[in-house]
Amino acid sequence: MSYIAVVDYGVGNLKSVSNAFAYLGIETKITGDPDELELAQAIVLPGVGAFPDAADKLRATGLDQSVVKQGRKKPVLGICLGMQLLLDRGEEVRPCPGLGVIKGVCARIPTEEKLPHIGWNSLTFPSRSPLFEGVDEGSYVYFVHSFSAQHTDPDQVSAVSQYGVPVIAAVQNGNFFGCQFHPEKSGETGLAILQNFAGLTR
């Protein structure tokens, strides 16, 4: 049986991601078992909450090493906190190492706008990623966050939004993809992005 593994490491947002894929007719398995990540066609690392808590839980279960290992041969998508965890480190609450597969630091958005940033913002694409195939420039997606990727390699930035300052909305490095926004809550645009991700397994 083929499926996309939705990584369960004790940080919410699992069911909504799984439901969005189900709507598209795509099989998922919510799992915290590294062996099941090995068997999956692709991996989604979702999450809401604080960076250090999530990073500690990933390390405690060995899921951190498993996600990195599997990303060498199959697509991995980090969503919101999941994208932040792909970075070199986080600065929320305390300095904490991330998975180190995307260059950059997770830090508070340096904006004078109200935080957390909650709502719909449009995307621009400094470089085209297969994640956004068929998605129009200026399409709107849904954000909920106070922290974002910063000091990132420009070549790894695939989408940008604006919230008083430019905010990195999506990243890619090889098989590793990240969305700071929530595609599972972003209507038809979000579903198209998830469909594109699933299509990378073919």
Cα separation values, 31 from 3, 90, 175, 194, Å: 11, 24, 20, 19
Say which amino acid occupies 140. Y
Cα-Cα-Cα-Cα dihedral sign, residues 34, 51, 125, 122: positive
Cα-Cα-Cα-Cα dihedral sign, residues 130, 134, 138, 141: negative
Could you give the residue numbers annotated as active site?
80, 182, 184
Cα-Cα-Cα-Cα dihedral sign, residues 71, 76, 82, 87: positive
Say which amino acid occupies 69. K
